């Protein structure tokens, strides 16, 4: 396994986990109307999108 492949696997895992955390916090917000849960959910979602963008653009950076 190359270092690039391992890096892609780790970044993909991060995207999945941060998206899962975002959904979890959205569920917490709907259950309790806690604005901090909504804020954390939005931050986790933005981090997941950022990592996904990084993963998609990783191939272009290496050329």
Which pLDDT tens digit goes with each residue over 22-34?
999 999 999 999 9
> Residue 23 and residue 31: Cα distance in Å, rounded?
12
The burial of 41, by beta-carbon neighbours within 10 Å (0-12 exposed, 13-18 middle, 19 or more buried), is given as: buried
63 falls in which pLDDT band (50, 70, 90)? low
What pLDDT, on a 0 to 100 scale, did the predictor assign at position 18? 98
pLDDT reading at 60 higher than 80 = no
Give the contacts of 44 (CB within 8 A, at least 6 positions apart). 18, 19, 21, 22, 25
Segment 8-26 shows an average pLDDT of: 96
């Amino acid at each position: 396994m190359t270092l690039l492949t391992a890096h892609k696997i780790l970044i993909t895992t991060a995207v999945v986990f941060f998206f899962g955390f975002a959904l979890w916090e959205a569920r917490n917000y709907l259950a309790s109307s806690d604005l901090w849960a909504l804020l954390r959910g939005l931050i986790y979602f933005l981090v997941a999108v950022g990592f996904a963008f990084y993963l998609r653009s990783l191939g272009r950076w290496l050329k």
